[in-house]
Amino acid sequence: MAKENDESTAPASSGRNLRADAERNRERVLETAREVFAELGLDVSTNEIARRAGVGVATLFRRFPTRDDLVAATFADKMHAYSDAIDEALADPDPWNGFCTYMERVCRMQADDRGFADVLTMTFPTAKAFEEERNRSANALGELLDRAKAVGKLRQDFAHQDVPLILMANAGVVTATRDAAPDAWRRILGYLLQSFAAEAAQPLPDPPSKGQVYRALMRLSQTP
Amino acid sequence: MAKENDESTAPASSGRNLRADAERNRERVLETAREVFAELGLDVSTNEIARRAGVGVATLFRRFPTRDDLVAATFADKMHAYSDAIDEALADPDPWNGFCTYMERVCRMQADDRGFADVLTMTFPTAKAFEEERNRSANALGELLDRAKAVGKLRQDFAHQDVPLILMANAGVVTATRDAAPDAWRRILGYLLQSFAAEAAQPLPDPPSKGQVYRALMRLSQTP
DNA sequence: GGATTAGTGGAACAACTGCTCCACTTGCTT
DNA sequence: AAGCAAGTGGAGCAGTTGTTCCACTAATCC
């Protein structure tokens, strides 16, 4: 059997074979970060994470030269799960059902992980690290929406760009209510989904352009 | 004519007659805070505000002993405008139209003032200062909703508690898109309003309880 | 016009952040 | 068993933040 640190098949991450204890520490930091970010959100200090992981700050920073690197590494898995969700939705024979399930699933991911909600729609330019991932699922999403429209369930004027908007709305609800009313997001999502049904369709304001949404996601043009 | 600093009719604020220059400075700080918070959001430093107002930090802190006091004083006016909005909505002969106009107006207030969006639904316990105000408008809102339901326009299962939820959703959209797509919130609000129409009504998840929403607004039970 | 006192600016503080330095320890190779 | 690079922890840096201290200034009252 192959050595675990086989260079070409290294488990994502930093790549080059680390010393055993170093790899252990790296993993410890990542796991701690996952827990802490999920519970307390992205604004936990780096020192705090190192402390909780039982390693020195230097160790953390050697492995993740920048705070953003740590964040990116921490959420890489969830980011993949996020992308996979759209593939599964696409596999549903009923595209409308696939769409609804997808939205609910993604919103739940935001609700369940405070840090992930931030990474996905809000805050920092950490976002850049996941750009490619995002593009891939954007295409799949387009496909799903087209199909749902084709079967006459999703309203025709639903725009691709509406999806990130929903996620942003959900993020707002979720960050405000997580502690006191952890299921509140379901209610708002419920309303929204009903308004996406073709039969409910009434005229709407125009959606933002794709470029606008992209810039919003990347938090560009923020006052410097 | 009465002196401007007549004790009993002092213009809200600190009350006791300040020295003329002190009052001038106080006003200068408030005006600066209004501008800066509106443009840059609530996380501008106190020092920065003092600098921009052309006063020393001590002057600012003498007048507003705590950062939260400054925030509360800064948004007192807008908070009143927010309450007035519901009264106007109530005056509309068509309660459904009043409701829609109200929601749009309040959401726009959030969109137009970065700081106000935070004060209203998100962040800090500054909220406490406006508790009473909030209760007053909550009652008026209840009245409006009842009327809109009575004329058969608003769906029966619409809950009082849904309104803050909408504001939170709007806050999420608005904080993410303000710079890149400043009108995006209209789109989401458009969807939501359509789903509130009685004819669109489909079963929904339960709303959070009033207590839950209250706690969410006050940001209680946050992990200490 | 002069005393009194409210009011002032800005240096400094303590607590925090992301991050770096460096004297030491420890896993791996031979 | 020994040597050495890879790896370590934690003090400390430079940058924030909200807030306080205090020697000075000037509006108000007589």
Mean pLDDT by 10 residues, chain B (224 residues): 35 62 96 97 96 97 95 92 93 98 96 91 61 82 97 96 94 92 96 94 90 79 34
User: Closest residue to D17 by CA to C1' distance?
Assistant: B45
Is the pLDDT higher at A138 or at B85? B85
**Does residue B32 approach strand C to less than 7 Å at its CB?**
no
- pLDDT at residue A59, as a whole number: 97
The stretch A108-120 carries a mean pLDDT of 93
- Determine which of A168, A179, A183 to mutate to test the interface with B (most B C-beta atoms within 10 Å): A168
Over A54-97, what HEC string results?
CCCHHHHHHHCCCHHHHHHHHHHHHHHHHHHHHHHHHHCCCHHH
Is the pLDDT higher at A120 or at A50? A50
Chain B residues with beta carbon closer than 8 angstroms to that of A100: none
- pLDDT at residue A200, as a whole number: 83
pLDDT above 60: residue A184 = yes
The pLDDT mean for chain A works out to 87
C1' (C13) to CA (B72) span, angstroms? 26
Separation of alpha carbons A163 and A161, rounded Å: 5
Tokens of A17: 């074979």
Separation of alpha carbons B222 and B43, rounded Å: 20
Which element (helix H / strand E) includes A99?
A: helix A95-112
Determine the 3-state secondary structure of A3 from DSSP: coil
The stretch A4-32 carries a mean pLDDT of 70
pTM value? Answer: 0.87
Provide the chain A residues 64-103 that lie in CB contact (below 8 A) with chain B.
none
Chain A residues with beta carbon closer than 8 angstroms to that of B207: 184, 187
**CA dist A146 → A27, A132, A179, A206 (Å):** 41, 22, 37, 18
Separation of alpha carbons B224 and B212, rounded Å: 18
- pLDDT at residue A2, as a whole number: 35
C1' (C13) to CA (B160) span, angstroms? 48
- pLDDT at residue A18, as a whole number: 86
Contact between residue A57 and residue A47 where contact means Cβ atoms under 8 Å apart? yes
Provide the chain A residues 179-218 that lie in CB contact (below 8 A) with chain B.
179-181, 183-184, 186-188, 190-192, 194-197, 200-202, 204-209, 212-217
In single-letter form, the type of residue at position A11 comes to: P
- Please tell me if residue B43 touches chain A, with a CB cutoff of 8 Å: no
Lowest-pLDDT range, A124-138, A153-167, B89-103, B184-198?
Answer: A124-138
- Please tell me if residue B173 touches chain A, with a CB cutoff of 8 Å: yes
